[in-house]
Amino acid sequence: MDFNDTPEEATFRAEARAWLDANAELRRPDDRPADVLSERTSPEIIAASQAWQKKKADGGWACLTWPTEYGGRAATSIQNVIWGQEEARYRTPPNIFGIGTGMCGPTILTHGNDDQKAKWIPKLLSGEEIWCQLFSEPSAGSDLAGLRSTAVRDGDDWVVNGQKIWTTGAQFCDWGILVVRSDANVAKHSGLTYFVVDMHSPGVEIRPITQINRGQGFNEVFFTDVRIPDAHRISEVGNGWAVAITTLMNERASIGGGGGGSVNDLIRLAKSVEIDGRPAIEDSAVRQQIARFYTRIKGVKMTGNRTLSALSQGKTPGPEASLGKLVGAKVAQEMASFAIELQGAAGALDRDAAAQGGDWQGRYLAIPGLRIAGGTDEILRNIISERVLGLPPESRADKGIAFKDIPTGPPS
């Protein structure tokens, strides 16, 4: 299999690189990782992220695969991947638009009507408006279709009540994609409807959740008699599950397996710290461990290349893409743990104090979230076992039962 660029891909890569050279600085080896999940909430980072998104939009490099009439360039998926690979080589602000451009936009482009696309897509693409995803609830995460927030029709509006949780970035977002139950008399997947909600509407209350690393990346969001115009409903009443699946497929594709920094960071650290008076990199056990990380990361990369080959040939990647996050996030977590061990006593320091060789403390605390977001390890294993290996499906006791008749525990 040849993973080199085709001549057309190489031309496109050169064009992308030329624009980036003119508009951004190359990363330096000792740069702190740009993308620690918890840091995306400060006003400075939001403003910097918006300015970079606007610059890309003005230059024709935002949301490459989207139609030209909404500001995209109708590029192929492989061109989009090439752009992502090139952009990652440059110093750019943390990206606060991943949910909007990776999940909300593609869903509206697939299921929205022309008015909805014209209203939301251009400002989403240019970074003027920021979006969040209001799916998970206290009792509905992996089993998303078990959600309990409700929408009741009232004239030209819907009235929404309930609670969402783990909503990334809700505290600074303008719009959110929302799935709620509009009919409890049918089976759980059938009674859902999908909306876009104005996050500044009366009755929306956002409470940031403080995480283990002191960041406030996500929130609880409470809805009390929030009115949503019917014009903001995406697709038919009761078709919310099909629309949500589009969002979730795009989520898995956009999260990927990264987030943990590279083996090179670990090698740099192992050269700079000592074990028994000698550089740690000279210790054979350290070298073996680094080699083990390297081979697993290479395995993830090669699996990723299968996805890229499928994209390059115009095919849609299959459920085997779940492997990237399943293995990649675990390796990243183990690498952070190993790096902190190498730091010795300094490893116990707070992330701001432990400047040695990259923000390992920050990564160690943030990466467990990657193993949950966009499908937990167990859910990804279920997908691989059922849809890649063809093993028998899980038994689903609530299949075909009206949602209101599914037994639940007493209210606490």
Ligand X SMILES: Cc1cc2nc3c(=O)[nH]c(=O)nc-3n(C[C@H](O)[C@H](O)[C@H](O)COP(=O)(O)OP(=O)(O)OC[C@H]3O[C@@H](n4cnc5c(N)ncnc54)[C@H](O)[C@@H]3O)c2cc1C
Active site residue 236: no
Task: Kindly state the smallest distance separating residue 373's Cβ from ligand X, in Å.
Answer: 4
d(CA 92, CA 45): 11
The residues that bridge with 227 in the sheet, in sequence order, are 159
Q: Does 372 bind ligand X (CB under 6 A)?
A: yes
Q: Does 166 bind ligand X (CB under 6 A)?
A: yes
Which residue of 124, 226, 373, 383 would you call a contact of ligand X, by CB under 6 A?
373
Find, among 299, 290, 150, 153, the residue nearest to 223 by Cα. Answer: 150
Residues numbered 8 to 37 that lie near ligand X (CB under 6 A) are: 37
- Please give the structure tokens belonging to residue 281: 């990199």
**Which residue lies nearer to ligand X by CB, 177 or 263?**
177
d(CA 82, CA 103): 19
- Please give the structure tokens belonging to residue 98: 């991943």
Segment lying near ligand X (by CB under 6 A), choices 199-207, 221-229, 273-281, 375-383:
375-383
Q: Phi, psi at residue 289, to the nearest 5°?
A: -65, -45
Q: Does 66 bind ligand X (CB under 6 A)?
A: no
- Please give the structure tokens belonging to residue 92: 């750019």
Q: Does 135 bind ligand X (CB under 6 A)?
A: yes
Q: Does 303 bind ligand X (CB under 6 A)?
A: no
- Which residue is at the shortest CB distance from ligand X? 141
Catalytic residue among 137, 251, 320, 378: 251
String marking each residue 385-404 x if it binds ligand X according to CB under 6 A: ---------x----------
Q: Does 378 bind ligand X (CB under 6 A)?
A: yes
d(CA 293, CA 305): 18
Which residue of 76, 262, 309, 382 would you call a contact of ligand X, by CB under 6 A?
382
| Run of H or E including 207 | strand 204-208
**148: exposed, middle or buried (Cβ count in 10 Å: 0-12, 13-18, 19+):** middle
| Run of H or E including 57 | helix 43-59
**Which residue lies nearer to ligand X by CB, 37 or 204?**
37
Residues serving a catalytic function are: 251
Query: Which residues of the chain form contacts with ligand X (CB under 6 A)?
Result: 37, 132-136, 141-142, 166-168, 218, 369, 372-373, 376, 378-379, 382, 394
